[in-house]
Amino acid sequence: MSIDPEPSFVATDDNPPPDGLALSWLETGDGARLRCAVVPATGPARGTITLLQGRNEALEKYFETMRDLSARGFCVATFDWRGQGGSGRLSRFASVGHLPRFGLLVEDLDRFLREVAWVRCPGPHAVVAHSMGGLVALAAMPLLEPQVERLVLTAPLVALPGSAGLHRFYAAAAGLLHVAGLGHLPVRRAARAGPGTTLAGNPLTHDARRFLRNRAIEAAAPNLVVHSFSASWLRAMLRTARRFERSDTIAAMALPTLVITAGADRVVPSGASARLAWRMRTGHHLGVPGARHELLQEADRFREPVLAAIESFVGSSLPRREAEETPTQARAAESETIAAP
């Protein structure tokens, strides 16, 4: 791990960093560098949640969520995916989200867990993953199962909007560009709440304060933002998402998983995520009617139930711990248990 120079973050008036935020660089071994963050729990730690961001997100966008999870007793570990946020880019076009192959994201997650989350943060461990991060978590499930107790997916990217025929067209076109060596070219501007977007028209959140806060982050640090995605990125996502339509793939998934979908999602089709949860033998589904895609950036009437669901689902494996008992208290509690009828 490299600490020279030190990684930095951007704070705005409405988006202060969480207490105890510690940043570091993680070298991937192939020349890329990931910006990582760890936030300690407030009070007795009940375990760690690894927070996996979506496409075109950066850790600054999750400062509020880090504080909320920390206040609930969870240590939080997160990082910016390669090709976005404060991590290294994969294309000479810095504003294009590019990915030569999906396996790079799985490999980066594996390295982050083994070198940061699982060694620097207390167990037990859970993972909360949003959108594209959810697809990575699903693909990495064999790596997660030995150490992770629970997985929560919010609006996971397991399919793209549109018909099957449109998906086949996208896959063919992106595949041709990739094979021709033109996979780095931008093919589409993805949904985002950029400078020209109004609150009413944005597909991500109903909340005016969080909408303006995230725009302020982009204005203060435009280097964190990617706009279009590349042909190779689209090819990688489509090929990976198709794996989770197969019964043999779903049957092998054993990690207890909660899938939370947004009822008014225009970025990813909620129905595909719900079907995946229903087909998983350890899957559970919760729909949030009326919510837009970014459930952890949404208005409180949507966001608070999502946070409560996350805490409830992971709580059985990451229980809240009170202050350490003295030996006398422990013996007294044991005596009461024995004496109970």
Dump pLDDT digits (tens) for 142-188.
Answer: 999 999 999 999 999 999 888 778 778 888 888 898 999 888 888 87
pLDDT reported for residue 333: 38
Q: Domain spanning 22-319: which CATH class is it, in words?
A: alpha beta
Angle at 235 between CA 55 and CA 291, to 5 degrees: 35
86: tokens are 């404060």
Parse the chain into domains and list their residue ranges. 22-319
pLDDT reported for residue 337: 32
DSSP single-letter state for residue 12: B
pLDDT reported for residue 332: 41
**At 192, is the pLDDT very low, low, confident or very high (cuts 50, 70, 90)?**
low
d(CA 211, CA 208): 5
pLDDT reported for residue 321: 73
The larger pLDDT score, comparing residue 305 to residue 192, is at: 305
CB 14 within 8 A of CB 209: yes
Q: What is the average per-residue pLDDT within 79-103?
A: 86
pLDDT higher than threshold 70 for residue 329: no
**At 78, is the pLDDT very low, low, confident or very high (cuts 50, 70, 90)?**
very high
Contacts of 327 by beta carbon, 8 Å cutoff, 6+ apart: none
Q: Which helix (H) or strand (E) holds 160?
A: none
DSSP single-letter state for residue 4: S
Q: Which helix (H) or strand (E) holds 340?
A: none
Q: What is the average per-residue pLDDT within 123-143?
A: 97
Q: What percent of the chain has pLDDT over 90?
A: 70
What is the model's pTM? 0.90
What's the mean per-residue pLDDT of the chain? 89
Q: What is the average per-residue pLDDT within 115-143?
A: 97
302: tokens are 């949507």
The larger pLDDT score, comparing residue 260 to residue 229, is at: 260
Bond prior to 5 in cis (omega within 30° of 0): yes
CB 224 within 8 A of CB 117: no
pLDDT reported for residue 338: 32
Cα 20–chain centre separation: 21
pLDDT reported for residue 184: 86
Q: Which helix (H) or strand (E) holds 14?
A: none
**At 3, is the pLDDT very low, low, confident or very high (cuts 50, 70, 90)?**
very low
CB 228 within 8 A of CB 186: yes
Q: Is 151 helix (H, G, I), strand (E, B) or coil?
A: strand
pLDDT reported for residue 190: 56
